[in-house]
Structure 1
């Protein structure tokens, strides 16, 4: 491992050198709700674009930030950060398989200060992820929670998969991401009903981030009537998609940022950083 990268990791991960320090370190974290999950409710949303830009804004507030890509069958966040993907058997899967693995070896340091990524390898086989249980994911999330100020998780909407329901269970706060599609509310209600039926608290997933808005006529009253709250509304911005394809962060690297996109994502970052 590159010496400079290792020193940077050591500076914020020294707290895991002794299990006796975990309780003390948890008390030092000023954020009450530090594990935040994002789960898509419809097509035409881009969680990776949202999370990567949001994570950058949060890290710029001085918070050590970790982004976790739980889309184990199709990871994409490493591309948004212009980072190298983990090799086969490395990254997330290695940490899930054993509690003896050094987290510092499996995390990716992005080119942005205080911003790290935990990702699956795109070379991993699908069947390698079928046998993990909630307890494996809980151990990884709990460790990350003691290491970082805030953890943002990209959750796949795949209810039979432990990485979906497990992440929903261990998040402190959850957001659905949705587009102007008539099935949005139905999909959210169905997933929450299923999660509740297996004993997972769903109250934390009542906030919605509307994405890629195109001013299509849409009945937002249905969401309100079913108890959902719209936390942010981000317009479709072609330049944001272009930046993502090039491994750049729109909120940082674009010379001109859509004012509506900037306003709502900045408001969301402020809210998460100031809990």
Structure 2
């Protein structure tokens, strides 16, 4: 990344507004703007690998970190952090259904210090998630915001699903993740237009993390033309995929790291940990 790109990255982590600081002293978390969302713009993006490795590194910085898997139809983050999947009707769906449930009992501890997971059960029925609205999700994310220093949210790109737009509405900082595919920029523009049409602020989701880059001849200027900013660029790392398939983290205990991947990951960790 050049100097200008670095300045863009720094800019997106600036504070949102002074009025949002009201009541901040009541919060337990170290970071005020700590709900961070990641949404895939196209196929070929491995958000789970990005979020699991990022979560581990943030936890190593001393931040109590919770990963939230909102892919209610196909959860997979439990595998990436080597946890057993939640039992049917437990985990995310249980805390969504009732504000009487102690959310701490549904959050899974991982084998990594300070890293936690709130996930749906892969055994839950799809139709069980159709009756939730924004208020249910806002309540859960608001509670997590107070408990943890930072919350990383894997958001499904399914606009009709409340978890998609509801998460966009609740996040303080948001990223699209994309690969070198023609439909990536179009998909982002369509979703942002749709979110805006229903009254959801989209400014926080105009930043893009490029994933699994393979040096394909690709016109990256199209992002700029559509008002989107590329803020990080991760190369494709075969060993990262292989480790993820075994429930292992690429950034942990690896003798041969891809330098560019680690450089970008550390930049992202630094910005999120210090914003």
Distance in 1 between the 2:266 and 2:25 partners? 31
Give the alignment of 1:24-63 within 5 angstroms: 24-26=25-27, 28-63=28-63
CA contact (8 A) 2:212 2:234 kept: yes
Indicate whether 1:96 and 2:68 are aligned.
Answer: no
Q: Alpha-carbon deviation of 1:225?
A: 1.6
Structure 1: which 5+ residue stretches go unaligned?
A: 1-21
CA contact (8 A) 2:24 2:32 kept: no
Hey, which bits of structure 1, 4+ residues long, moved more than 2 A? Answer: 22-25
Q: Alpha-carbon deviation of 1:187?
A: 0.6
Distance in 2 between the 1:253 and 1:200 partners? 41
Distance in 2 between the 1:77 and 1:87 partners? 15
CA contact (8 A) 1:179 1:210 kept: yes
CA contact (8 A) 2:29 2:145 kept: no
Indicate whether 1:109 and 2:92 are aligned.
Answer: no
Distance in 2 between the 1:240 and 1:78 partners? 16
Distance in 1 between the 2:168 and 2:66 partners? 17
CA contact (8 A) 1:243 1:254 kept: no
Q: Alpha-carbon deviation of 1:32?
A: 3.0
Distance in 1 between the 2:57 and 2:29 partners? 19
Q: Alpha-carbon deviation of 1:103?
A: 1.1
Indicate whether 1:218 and 2:239 are aligned.
Answer: no
CA contact (8 A) 2:29 2:147 kept: no
Indicate whether 1:247 and 2:243 are aligned.
Answer: no
SS at match of 1:71: coil
Aligned residues: 253
State the TM-score, normalizing by the size of structure 2. 0.90
Q: Alpha-carbon deviation of 1:24?
A: 4.5
CA contact (8 A) 2:168 2:174 kept: yes
- Name the counterpart of 2:148: 148
Distance in 2 between the 1:253 and 1:234 partners? 19
Q: Deviations over 1:12-48 (max 9, x none)?
A: xxxxxxxxxx96441x533231000000001100000
SS at match of 1:252: coil
Structure 2: which 5+ residue stretches go unaligned?
A: 1-22
CA contact (8 A) 2:67 2:117 kept: yes
Distance in 2 between the 1:165 and 1:48 partners? 19
- Name the counterpart of 2:129: 129
Q: Deviations over 1:222-258 (max 9, x none)?
A: 1012121111111111100011011110011322110
SS at match of 1:141: helix
CA contact (8 A) 2:180 2:218 kept: yes
CA contact (8 A) 1:210 1:234 kept: yes
- Name the counterpart of 1:204: 204
Q: Deviations over 1:128-149 (max 9, x none)?
A: 0000010000000000000001
Distance in 2 between the 1:90 and 1:123 partners? 10
